[in-house]
Structure 1
Amino acid sequence: MKMNLERLRKGTLKMLILEALNDKPMHAYEIIKTIEKKFHGIYKPSPGSLYPVLKQLLESGMITIEEKDDKKIYVMTDKGKEAFEKMKNEMTNVFTKNNQYRKVVNQLFEIGLIIYNFRDKLNDDEYERINDIINGCKNEIEDLLNKLK
């Protein structure tokens, strides 16, 4: 069973955008910087990933655009606020009701932080070795999960 990672990423980015806009209306650059700050520079969405999600949120009526000083300002609608609260509650339920799941996710996040902390010291060969280790781990997990079918 292959997960659609692109769909997962877009769903996560959708929530991050709504979370940013929940604080205040923003233009796209502010949204990117808000998300980057939340992740302490580890993750920064590109404009190429942000704009398709913004378009989807506009089409679904979760956000609107206001023009201010010739800039597009994205504003969350009531529908967007409701959707964000629902997503937030679902995430809270996932992380509080299943302690084992939370432990696994925390481990993955810690791996990301370790790599981030050494990012300037690693060469291409070391990155390749890390990538091989992670791919091996991913394959083992996928094999385990496929046995659950």
Structure 2
Amino acid sequence: MRMNIERLRRGALRFLILDALNKKPMHAYEIMKTIEIKFNGVYKPSPGSLYPVLKSLIKEDLVKVEIIDEKKVYSLTEKGRDAWGEAKSNMKSLFSRSVNYRKLLNSLFDISLVLYTYRDILTREETFEQINSVLEDCRAKIEEILGSHNSDRS
């Protein structure tokens, strides 16, 4: 069973927004820049991905918005601070649980840095297709391995 990647991405972006706003209230552009800096320029959320998540966080009363100097400024509510603390605690627990899991994440991060380093070459359609094919094959193989172990548990 494949997980919903978009939901996973939104969950990660949700945490990154809460994390940014935990430092100080910000407008949307500041949130995007803070996240970009956190990832050393490798990842920057687009406005199209940021605003729906912000809207959801506001609806859940985790984030509030105020107009200051004619700009929307977002900040955490008390409930938002609690949610951020809980998410942070869960993240620490996840990463401290397994040295092997951290090794895998480091490998994935290293791959993302290689892709970022050669981003100009990836504009070539043939090169992009070759790399994308390798990554899709890799994902499929990982799902196959994990799926076979998951059926062992049943």
- TM-score (norm: length of structure 1): 0.96
Identify the residue that residue 82 of structure 2 maps to in structure 1. Answer: 82
Identify the residue that residue 72 of structure 1 maps to in structure 2. Answer: 72
Aligned-residue offset at 1:78: 1.1
Q: Does the 8 Å CA contact 2:64/2:76 hold for their aligned counterparts?
A: yes
Aligned-residue offset at 1:77: 0.9
Identify the residue that residue 19 of structure 2 maps to in structure 1. Answer: 19
**Structure 1: runs of 5 or more not aligned:** none
How many residues are treated as equivalent by the alignment? 149
Q: 1:145 is aligned with what amino acid?
A: L
Q: Does the 8 Å CA contact 2:121/2:127 hold for their aligned counterparts?
A: no
1:140 aligned onto 2:134: no
Q: Does the 8 Å CA contact 2:63/2:74 hold for their aligned counterparts?
A: yes
Q: Does the 8 Å CA contact 2:18/2:80 hold for their aligned counterparts?
A: yes
Aligned-residue offset at 1:146: 1.6
How does 1:5-84 map onto structure 2 within 5 Å? 5-84=5-84
Aligned-residue offset at 1:121: 3.3
Q: Secondary structure at the match of 2:48?
A: helix
- TM-score (norm: length of structure 2): 0.93
Q: 1:133 is aligned with what amino acid?
A: V
After TM superposition, what 4+ stretches of structure 1 lie above 3 angstroms from structure 2? none
Q: 2:140 is aligned with what amino acid?
A: N
**Structure 2: runs of 5 or more not aligned:** none
Q: 1:3 is aligned with what amino acid?
A: M
Q: Does the 8 Å CA contact 2:17/2:31 hold for their aligned counterparts?
A: yes
Partner Cα separation in structure 2 for residue 114 and residue 84 of structure 1: 31
Q: Secondary structure at the match of 1:64?
A: strand
Q: Does the 8 Å CA contact 2:27/2:74 hold for their aligned counterparts?
A: yes
Partner Cα separation in structure 2 for residue 70 and residue 86 of structure 1: 33
Aligned-residue offset at 1:98: 1.1
Partner Cα separation in structure 2 for residue 141 and residue 133 of structure 1: 12
